[in-house]
Amino acid sequence: MRPEFIAKQLEPALRESLEAPELKLLSLSGARPPDDERREPWIAIKYGPAEPDDWLGVVAATAQFTRAPGASPEELKMAVKVNPRQGLSHTLIPWIIKTQKIALDRPYWEYRRAAETIHTGPRESRVYSLAKTQPALAAVLPRCYGMASDPETDEHALFLEFISNAARLDATGTIANWPPDAINEALKAAAGWQSAFWSLGPNQLAWAGPRPTTDDMVADAPLWRGILDFARRRFPDIVTDAVWRRRQRLIDSLNEWYPIKDSLPATLAHNDFNERNVGFRPQVLVLDWELTESNTAHRDLAELLTFVLPADAQRDEIDVYVENHRRALIELGISSGTDRDAWMEGFRAEIKAEAIDRIGLQFLFGAQFPLAYLATINRNIERLLDFYC
C-alpha cells in the first residue's frame, strides 16, 4: 500500500479515535525494515509485486500531528498492518507446493479447505470493528486507531497500538513450555469472546472463514494424504512410520470421528491461537486475526495446547486445561455444547483434525522456510493423540 494513501486515510481515523475533530496530520514516517525480505523471504510471494517504498506487512510508524490549530505537535508511535491483496490459497501455498514438488490431484485453491486462507484481509478489519460493541473481544486486542482500505487494489490496513511489552509473545514460535497459569489465562480470555459469538449461524459469521464440515474434510482427503506423504519424505525424523500410519488412519476414518464437530455449536475461532500471536501485558493480548473462522471452541483450545504444552505435560495436567476452558464458558452463561461428555468428545475430534489439517500445513511451510517450532508441535500433537485418542 502506498504510504501517501495511508497518510491520507490516517488523518480522519485519528480525528475520530483521538476525539480531536480539528486534528492535523503533519507527517507520517516509517519504512519496512531493510532486512525484511532476508528475514521473511516469502514476503514477495505473499504480497505480490511492490515498489521499494510500499508498505506491507507490519510497519513501525510514527505519526506527528496537532490536535487543534496552534496546539503543540505530538507524536504517536503505531504499527501499520497492511494485509495482502490475496489470501495465501492463491499465492504462497501454491508456490510452496510447486517449489517443493508436492504431488496433489488438483490446484490447492480447488480444495475446500483453501477457503481458510481466501479473502483474509477484510476479516481482521471486521474483528476490530466488532470490538467496538464486544467488550470481551476488545479486551484482548491492541488499541486500534482506525483502518484504511483501497478499493482499487483490494488492500486493507489497520492503524494499531505499537506493542513492545508483551510477555511470551514470540513471532518465531521458539518459546513454548508455558506454565499452567499462562495457559489457563489464555483459555479464559478465549472463552470470553467465544461466549459472545456462541452458536451464531453461518449468515451471522459469513464474513469469517467458513466452518469446515465432515463433507469438506472428506472431500479434501487427497490433500491431507499428499501433504502427509510429502512430510514423511521431507521430515523422516519427525514423521516416522508410526506417525505416518496413525495419521493415515485418521484420514481414512474422517467420516467416523469428524461428525461430532458438526454437531457442536459454532463460535468465532481465532484459528492461529499460539505463542506467535498471544502474549501478556499482563492481561491477555491476541494479535493477527486474518485467519479467523467459524468453528467450535475446541479449535483454539487444541491449537494452543499443541504449541505451548511443556514436553513433560501429563494427562491429568492437560485434563485441567480442557476442563477450565469448559467451565469458563459455563460461567459466562453458555450451556449448549458444554456438557462434559460432549465437550471431551469434541476435544478428541479437534486433536485429530489438528494432526492432519493444521500440522499438515505447518509441514508444508516448514519445508520451504525453517520453522523452529515444527518438531515441538508434532511432539505435542502425538502426545495428545496418545492420551486422548
Provide DSSP, 308-353. H--TT--HHHHHHHHHHHHHHHHHTT--TT--HHHHHHHHHHHHHH
pLDDT per residue over 147-201, tens digit each? 999 988 889 999 999 999 899 999 889 888 999 999 999 999 999 999 999 998 8
Type and span of the H or E element at 226: helix 221-234
Q: Check pLDDT > 80 for residue 129.
A: yes
Binning pLDDT at 50, 70 and 90, where does residue 203 land? confident
Mean pLDDT across the chain, nearest whole number?
96
Contact predicate 307/328, CB 8 Å: no
Average pLDDT over residues 231-239: 98
Residue 32 has what pLDDT? 79
Q: CA nearest 161: which of 57, 75, 77?
A: 77
Domains delineated in the chain: 1-83+119-162 (no CATH), 168-389 (3.90.1200.10)
Q: CA nearest 172: which of 353, 313, 367, 307?
A: 307
Q: Which amino acid belongs to residue 325?
A: H
pLDDT per residue over 79-113, tens digit each? 999 998 889 999 999 999 999 999 999 999 999 99
Residue bearing cell 461428555: 341
pLDDT per residue over 209-224, tens digit each? 999 999 999 999 999 9
**Sign of the C-alpha dihedral computed for residues 267, 293, 149 and 32 taken in this order:** positive
Residue 242 has what pLDDT? 98
Please return the burial class of 330, using the count of CB atoms within 10 Å of its CB with bins 0-12, 13-18 and 19+.
middle
Q: Check pLDDT > 90 for residue 253.
A: yes
Q: Is the pTM of this model over 0.85?
A: yes
DSSP state of 109: G
Q: Check pLDDT > 70 for residue 37.
A: no
Average pLDDT over residues 300-320: 98
Q: Check pLDDT > 90 for residue 298.
A: yes
Average pLDDT over residues 124-140: 97
Q: Check pLDDT > 90 for residue 44.
A: no
Residue 38 has what pLDDT? 67
Q: Check pLDDT > 70 for residue 75.
A: yes
SS (H, E, C) 43-63: HHHHHCCCCCCCCCEEEEEEE
Binning pLDDT at 50, 70 and 90, where does residue 46 land? confident
Residue 267 has what pLDDT? 98
| Grid cell locating 385 | 493423540
pLDDT per residue over 347-387, tens digit each? 999 999 999 999 999 999 999 999 999 999 999 999 999 99
